Amino acid sequence: MNKLIKKAGITLSAAALTFGAYTAQAADTIKVGVLHSLSGTMAISETTLKDTVLMMVEEQNKKGGLLGKKLEAVVVDPASNWPLFAEKTKELLEKDKVDVIFGCWTSVSRKSVLPVIEELNGLLFYPVQYEGEESSKNVFYTGAAPNQQAIPAVDYLMSEDGGSVKRWVLEGTDYVYPRTTNKILEQYLLSKGVKPADISINYTPFGHSDWQTRVAEIKKFGSAGKKTAVVSTINGDANVPFYKELGNAGISAEDIPVVAFSVGEEELSGFDTKPLVGHLAAWNYFMSVDDEANDKFIAKWHKFIGSDKRVTNDPMEATYIGFNAWVKAVEKAKTTDVDKVRTAMYGIKVPNLTGGTAEVLPNHHFTKPVLIGEIQEDGQFEIVWQTESEVPGDAWTDFLPESAKIISDWQNPKINCGNYNTETKKCSGQNY
């Protein structure tokens, strides 16, 4: 039985230190850029990741730093403004001279950063599930690819244990991650014999708040006599009114279950979870995982943040994995030089927080377990299903014809690109 850890509302403390304490110039430090929205629609999710990086920096400095130097975190706020992500990245690399960047949440922010970090040869660790269809030599993707989250979630819902779902609502925020993920899922569902009439796809803007009409449409779609589920790629604070409206409309998990890819413990702390009991989320980590490594991580987090009521979540674990892998690569390379660190990354293994091991792959993705969790009244998740072992992240999906023939391999000198076409034996377009 998985141990559930009680959570309460968010509280901040002196442990969440101000920017100034972390951006002070130092003569001989290794600079760690922190690129997360601390304001705007994505602050609900990203602020915690900023704090996670600061905790990791503090912990590493207590161990003596890295290569004989202290780490210095340089925090910026791109404010949920996608072009500003690019500007702040350039500032971090050119002005602040950071050695590595941990940041971004949405794919649109990552896509904004990508040209800058490639041009200036920076190194970004991206800690959130995403749509795949990318492998940049300057990015390590520590969150889930579609085959490590979206596809297994659909497989679970199709199974008898998951309710034998026959009708599907693909509901997302209107940007690249939901659109590409749903494009993959639509083709996957069709390949499994689902009829087009049994698939409903819809998008709403960031920060969307008036869900009454759309939830009514979902309810109507689910009344056709076939078991229906919602696959949610809704991101940011739009989740709060969406789930509230589900409750207002009387839609329970027994009626139309929702499996979310962007709702975790942090997001659930923002509203009453009682109407949401039984709805699902697919991640690679839950706070409720019963493992010694997880217990230690939670204890460190509570001590750092100054509150035992603060929760942990999947992108925090992805940040933890990425940071530790980077540290090992720097120690292995004996330098923070981006090209040498990148080469040192391949094959590195670090413990995850579910009792297994994350390995860095030549396509810049990680191996990860897949877990399905059911929302409980206390805002935690009871794990109802998980893979037996870690799943290798796939940069290019097998379920889109144009992508099935593409592979990524930055370690093999005969390939050395992010989009190698196995038919033409050439890299196509940009190297991602």
265: left (phi over 0), alpha (psi -120 to 50) or beta: alpha
Strand, coil or helix: 293 = helix
The burial of 271, by beta-carbon neighbours within 10 Å (0-12 exposed, 13-18 middle, 19 or more buried), is given as middle
Q: Is residue 274 part of a domain?
A: no
Kindly give the confidence (pLDDT) of every residue in the chain, 432 residues in length, as a single tens digit, with 9 standing for 90 and above: 443 333 333 333 444 444 444 444 445 999 999 999 999 989 988 999 999 999 999 999 999 999 999 999 999 999 999 999 999 999 999 999 999 999 999 999 999 999 999 999 999 999 999 999 999 999 999 999 999 999 999 999 999 999 999 999 999 999 999 999 999 999 999 999 999 999 999 999 999 999 999 999 999 999 999 999 999 999 888 888 998 899 899 999 999 999 999 888 988 886 778 878 999 999 999 999 999 999 999 999 999 999 999 999 999 999 999 999 999 999 999 999 999 999 999 999 999 999 999 999 999 999 999 999 999 999 999 999 999 999 999 999 999 999 999 999 999 999 999 999 999 999 986 656
**187 close to 400: Cβ distance less than 8 angstroms:** yes
Q: Which residue range is the domain that position 84 belongs to?
A: 19-145+289-370
C-alpha 21/C-alpha 133 separation (Å) is 38
* 115, part of any domain: yes
Angle at 49 between CA 362 and CA 258, to 5 degrees: 85
Do 124 and 78 form a contact (C-beta atoms < 8 A)? no
Are 410 and 346 in contact, with CB atoms under 8 Å apart?
yes
Q: Please report, to the nearest 10 degrees, the dihedral formed by the alpha carbons of residues 406, 125, 204, 185 taken in order.
A: 30
The shares of helix, strand and coil residues in the chain, as percent rounded to the nearest 5, are: 35, 20, 45
Quick check: is 252 in a domain?
Answer: no
Q: Which helix (H) or strand (E) holds 176?
A: helix 176-191
Contacts 24+ apart (CB under 8 A), 219-224: 219/249, 219/251, 219/256, 221/167, 221/169, 222/167, 222/169, 222/251, 222/255, 222/256, 224/167
Is 195 part of any domain?
no
Residue 213: inside a domain: no
Q: 80: domain CATH number?
A: 3.40.50.2300
Transcribe 43-98 into DSSP letters. HHHHHHHHHHHHHHHHHHHHTT-BTTBEEEEEEE--TT-HHHHHHHHHIIIIIS--
Do residues 392 and 361 make contact, with C-beta atoms less than 8 angstroms apart? yes
What 3-state DSSP class applies to 40?
A: coil
pTM of this structure: 0.88
Amino acid identity of residue 395, one-letter, is: A
Domain count for the chain, please give it. 1
